A and B are shown apart, each in its own frame.
Chain A
């Protein structure tokens, strides 16, 4: 299927916070309650529409366990977006966010859009991290924040799509160098330069268009 853009995402965060479930909910619209440890990295994909444009999301779901950390680090560089996930019912997963963020900032390209996700919002009775705390952390570190539930699918679509919107805006502003595929963005064949008045995106898109046809 043709697309205007292709974005690469990674999902990171402690083990058991529901990264794989978020991905499964987003790609397959189903929930698997049994915790199945991710080994290394798993792949998933889906098409979305933003601003009337088809955008393909390729998502790499990483293992949260410490043992796989050196492997998952290899994925930061080539990603355009990252979902940093914690579990609202386990405070320690929230406490580890700083480490994750440092790791991500160190290894990724500086324009990577990071979305902070507090998952398992359906388990409000066991909540250990207040929504306000998540909001405060996001504000402090310049992230977008959202609470989701992979079980009920609440906000799952929004989380992935809002991240894509943010990336899309950055492209329109000419922040991303879309010709460098190492940034996790690819231009599809369907693409036509939407905003030629913008010097950054207009020129780059035109060049890429002639290159891929």
Chain B
């Protein structure tokens, strides 16, 4: 401390002697320095000082220091030392744990860390920034960042989970840190992940997706499995977080064959029995058992439970659990949890149930483990939790398994009492039922009750059970014994409640048991008296309600075979002695009691104290199903005992109804067959009709052909006899001929017209020919004229020539030439014309 003070002094540059600065002032100065100092060293020193002060003066540092620390994170990222101081300081401020240094500081309230967390995460970027420092490999920075995030999550789980989810690769980045080779980092990340996965199935799934199961099993193995240290426990707690109420991860766990990796951890080494159990081993083992139960707890998805139960049997996990039950030196706490785990591993799974029934305890003589367990249940000296666990295990052993139920009931029946030497389950249960320990009574009643759940045949069977009385009187039936015990003044309330539950389940849906109960002396009177009494104890109310329920069952499942104890008689009793309203009110008391809501919550029996053990899960289920029916039934009777509503039918009436239903069903079936046959007949009819029409058309065709043939015969003229049909054919032929004649006629007209046109054309052609002939003649005439003229000219020429030949030969020749030319010009003109 002295060193610290001197350190601060050097940082602050000393103070005036005699005057100690207050914490707030010191912090203020340091904050100022972090803000304003330009030298990294100064800022670093101030941060270191703030870190030192933050444990003792958390409020002061937190109130003033947060903004500058955030600023450091923003700006000084390259200096790992200052960052680690800043992160450490923030971690001290927001943590929810109380430091020794601040123990005497009255201003520190319980939730100061939570308030600072709220301040810090108001700016979501702050969280993202701290997440960013996870990438920094430096040991101090990474570790401080992990611790800060862990503290933030544990204070504001929901908000931080959302921030991590939206930060890109946030969960994946955290998962990568699990592989950090430095163990301290890995272990801190485990703590972080435990906080992070609390109650957030989305994060749980991502963590599982990022190979968490593999990582965790690797670490558990490295650390020595259940003999390992607290790191193993941390791993198992994280495993539990990932599996609880997360069916997707449960399925992944099963599919990934991780149950097989779980199984060997339950095998106890030989030396454990001598060495004893260390507290850490007990914690580890407890967590291991919790992990098993998280996979098969009845509230899980049914198919997941069934699948996991199968694997647990195949992987010898169930076997190992049974071994633990039988080994010595197992602490009671672990034994209790193991019994609970076995219970849930076998619940409703026939094979697993039978496996448990085969397990023998190494006692002398060897006894079935079930018997040994039941011995503990009825043993007053055993721990309450252990006894509860045994009952739960027994219930799960019987659950949905008629064979096992029958085997247990068999041990109660007289025939099986031959082997006196060995203790049977039935004997133990009877011992418990009639012991002086109220809790043993309660446990045994509930245990017997569970042999009857949903099994009417066994209810009838159990009516046959006779118990030998102590004092040589006539043997009583078990039912009589129970009723008598319930009516006895000395019997404690807890026992009575147990017996009432047993009787109620016994009577439900079993008219034989109702009859047996009503035959027992004084039962109706006793129940009526209870309902009329006006006790004010809360537990009395519960008891009265349960009596009302039992009475209701006596009406509901009454087959009216007892005179004076028929449905109407009991209803009249209620109306006249109790009153319908009061009855219904009392009936409702059961569901109003806190024990009811507690028992309804889960099949497992949990009780902090013996007094809390009142109602059982299966009884509550029965009550839930029938309460409304009984209330309606009772208020449905009028004063004269006539049922007003048809919904409230006695078993006799319902038998009648079902008889009618049967008749109706038979008639219905008959109608159906008739309809079917009618349909078939109709079909047949249609087929026949079709056939008929086909035949008819065939006939018509044939007759047509016939006609045609006849007509052909007629046409050839060889038919001596002219039938009407042939004449008709002739007429037709005639018509055809006529038609053809008409056709020819029309053709004729058309051709005539054509001839006319051609004639006209010919005439015009002739005219044109005549005209051209004329012009030809004229031309020929012209030509002749011209030829004549030419001949004349030639003649003349010859005469002239003759005249001139001798004297003027040369001249004449020339002249001739010229004349020839002129002569030649005339015919060419003529031609031109």
List the interface of chain A (C-beta within 8 A of B).
Answer: 1, 8, 40-45, 56, 58, 60, 70-71, 73-75, 77-78, 107, 181-182
Return chain B residues, CB-CB under 8 Å to A60: 205, 209
Extra pairs beyond A41-B206, A60-B205 (11, CB < 8 Å): A8-B209, A40-B205, A43-B248, A56-B255, A74-B169, A74-B171, A74-B172, A78-B209, A78-B210, A181-B211, A182-B210
Assess whether B202 is interfacial by the CB under 8 Å rule: yes
Choose one: A8, A41, A45, A77; the contact of B205 (CB below 8 Å).
Answer: A41
Q: Are A45 and B251 in contact (CB under 8 A)?
A: yes
Q: Contacts of B166 on A, CB cut-off 8 Å? A: 70
* Contact A1-B257, Cβ < 8 Å, known A74-B169, A74-B171: yes
Residues of A within 8 A of B252 (CB): 43, 45, 58
Chain B proximity of A167: nearest CB distance (Å)? 17
Contact yes or no, A41 B248, CB < 8 A = yes
The verdict on A73 contacting B168 (CB below 8 Å), with A43-B252, A181-B214 known, is yes
A-B contact pairs, 23 of them (CB 8 A): A40-B201, A40-B202, A42-B248, A43-B248, A43-B255, A45-B252, A45-B255, A56-B255, A58-B252, A70-B166, A71-B202, A73-B169, A74-B170, A74-B171, A74-B206, A75-B206, A75-B209, A77-B169, A77-B172, A78-B209, A78-B211, A181-B211, A182-B210
A74 and B255 contact, CB distance less than 8 A: no
* Main DSSP-derived SS at the A contact region: mixed
Q: Which partner residue on chain B sits nearest A70 by CB separation? A: B166
The residue in A8, A43, A44, A45 that gathers the most chain B C-beta atoms within 10 A of its C-beta is A43
Least distance between A97 CB and chain B CB atoms (Å): 22
B165 within 8 A of A: yes
Q: Are A74 and B211 in contact (CB under 8 A)?
A: no
A46 nearest in chain B by CB position: B255
Number of chain B residues whose Cβ lies closer than 8 Å to a Cβ of chain A: 22
Partner of B255, one of A58, A73, A182: A58
Cα(A44)–Cα(B250), bound, Å = 11
Question: How far apart are A27's CB and chain B's nearest CB, in angstroms?
Answer: 10
B249-A43 in contact (CB<8A): yes
Tell me the smallest distance from the CB of B399 to a CB of chain A, in Å. 26
User: How far apart are the CA atoms of A107 and B201 in the complex, in Å?
Assistant: 22
- B662 interfacial by beta-carbon distance below 8 Å: no
Cβ of B256 within 8 Å of any chain A Cβ, yes or no, is yes
- In the assembled complex, the Cα of A44 lies from the Cα of B255 at a distance in Å of 8
Assembled-state Cα–Cα distance A182/B257 (Å) = 19
Among residues of A, the one whose C-beta sits closest to the C-beta of B256 is A58
* A-B CB proximity, top 10 nearest: A45-B255, A43-B248, A74-B206, A40-B202, A43-B252, A70-B166, A71-B202, A43-B251, A41-B205, A42-B248
Whole-angstrom distance from the CB of B335 to the nearest CB of chain A?
33
Interface residues of B in 188-239 (CB under 8 A from A): 201-202, 205-206, 209-211, 214
CB neighbours (8 Å) of A42 from chain B are: 248
Q: A43-B249, A70-B165, A71-B202 are in contact. Are A78 and B172 (CB under 8 A)?
A: yes
- Across the interface, B165 reaches (CB within 8 A) one of A41, A71, A181, namely A71
Measured between alpha carbons, how far is A41 from B170 in the docked complex, in Å?
17
Minimum distance in angstroms from B196 CB to a CB of chain A: 13
Complex contact A71–B206 (CB within 8 A): yes
Output the least CB separation between B612 and chain A (Å).
36
> Once bound together, how far apart are the Cα atoms of A70 and B168, in whole Å?
8
| Residue of A8, A74, A182 contacting most chain B CB atoms (<10 Å) | A74
CB distance from A107 to the nearest CB of B (A): 7
Query: Which A-chain residue is minimally distant from B201 (CB atoms)?
Result: A40
The residues of B that contact A44 with a CB separation of less than 8 Å are 251
Nearest-Cβ distance from residue B111 to partner chain A, whole angstroms: 30
Shortest Cβ distance from residue A187 to the other chain B in the assembled complex, whole angstroms = 12
Q: From residue B488, how far is it (CB to closest CB) to chain A in Å?
A: 55
CB distance from B180 to the nearest CB of A (A): 15
Q: Which of B169, B248, B257 contacts A107 (CB 8 A)?
A: B169
Contacts of B202 in A (CB 8 A): 40-41, 71
The residues of A that contact B206 with a CB separation of less than 8 Å are: 41, 71, 74-75
| Whole-angstrom distance between the Cβ of B218 and the nearest chain A Cβ | 11
Minimum CB–CB distance for B660 against chain A, Å: 37
Give bound CA distance, A42 to B301, whole Å.
Answer: 13
- Once the chains are docked, how many angstroms separate the CA of A58 from the CA of B257? 12
Enumerate chain B residues within 8 angstroms of A8, measured Cβ to Cβ.
209
Q: Is the CB of A74 within 8 A of B257?
A: no
A56 to B257, CA, bound (A): 11
**Which B residues touch A181, using CB under 8 A?**
211, 214
CB of A10, distance to nearest CB on chain B (Å): 9
The CA-CA distance from A3 to B214 in the complex, in Å, is 16
The distance in angstroms between the C-alpha atoms of A73 and B165, with both chains bound, is 10
Q: How far is the CA of A191 from the CA of B248 in the complex (A)?
A: 27
* A74 pairs with B209, CB closer than 8 A: yes
In the assembled complex, which residues on chain B have CB atoms less than 8 Å from the CB atom of A1? Answer: 257
List chain A residues, Cβ under 8 A from B205.
40-41, 43, 60
In whole angstroms, how far apart are the Cα atoms of A45 and B248 in the complex?
A: 11
Nearest B residue to A77, CB-CB: B172
Chain A residues in 8 Å Cβ range of B255: 43, 45, 56, 58
Closest Cβ–Cβ distance, residue B305 to chain A (whole Å): 16
Which residue of B has the minimal Cβ distance to A47? B255
Q: Would you give the shortest CB distance from A82 to chain B, in whole angstroms? A: 13
In the complex, which residues of chain B have a beta carbon less than 8 angstroms from the beta carbon of A75? 206, 209
Which residues of A have CB within 8 Å of B169? 73-74, 77, 107
Chain B residue at minimal CB-CB distance from A8: B209
A58 to B202 Cα, complex, angstroms = 17
Instruction: Report how far A43 CA is from B249 CA in the complex, Å.
Output: 7
Chain B residues, CB < 8 A from A43 = 205, 248-249, 251-252, 255
Cβ of A179 to closest chain B Cβ, rounded Å: 13
Within 8 A of A (CB), among B3-30: none
Tell me the bound Cα distance from A54 to B169 in angstroms.
Answer: 32
What's the nearest-Cβ distance from chain B to residue A109, in Å? Answer: 12
Across-interface contacts of A182 in B (CB, < 8 A): 210-211
B177 CB to closest chain A CB (Å) equals: 13
- Give every chain B residue within 8 A of A41 (Cβ-Cβ): 202, 205-206, 209, 248
A78 CB contacts on chain B under 8 angstroms = 172, 209-211
Closest to A69 in B: B166
Q: How far is the CA of A182 from the CA of B169 in the complex (A)?
A: 13
A34→B570 CA distance, assembly (Å): 49
Q: How far is the CA of A126 from the CA of B249 in the complex (A)?
A: 37
Residue of B whose beta carbon sits closest to that of A63 = B202
Q: Which chain A positions have C-beta within 8 A of B209?
A: 8, 41, 60, 74-75, 78
Q: Which residues of A contact B165 (CB under 8 A)?
A: 70-71, 74
Q: How far is the CB of B182 from chain A (nearest CB, A)?
A: 20
Q: Nearest-CB distance from A78 to chain B (Å)?
A: 6
Nearest chain B CB to A104 CB, angstrom units: 14
User: In the complex, A2 Cα to B168 Cα: how many Å?
Assistant: 35
CA distance A41 to B165 in the complex (A): 13
How far is the CB of A44 from the nearest CB of chain B, in Å?
7
For A56, list chain B residues within 8 Å (CB). 255
Distance between Cα atoms of A64 and B205 in the complex (Å): 16
Question: Chain B residues near A45 (CB, 8 Å)?
Answer: 251-252, 255-256
Alpha-carbon distance A181/B213, docked complex (angstroms): 12
Nearest B residue to A3 via CB reads: B257
Q: Which of B737-751 contact A (CB under 8 A)?
A: none
Residues of A within 8 Å of B171, CB to CB, are 74
Residues of chain B lying within 8 A (CB to CB) of residue A107: 168-169
Considering only residues 247-265 of chain B, those with a C-beta below 8 Å from chain A are: 248-249, 251-252, 255-257
- Chain A's closest residue to B207 (CB) is A74
A71: which B residues are within 8 A, CB to CB? 165, 202, 206
Chain B min CB distance to A2 (Å):
8
CB-based nearest A residue for B210: A78
Closest partner residue, chain A, to B162 (CB atom): A70
Q: How far is the CB of A32 from chain B (nearest CB, A)?
A: 14
Give A136 to B241 CA distance when docked, in angstroms: 46
Q: Which residue of B lies closest to A6 (CB)?
A: B256
Closest A residue to B303 by CB, please name it: A28
Q: Nearest CB to that of B170 among chain A residues?
A: A74
Complex CA gap A71/B170 in Å reads: 10
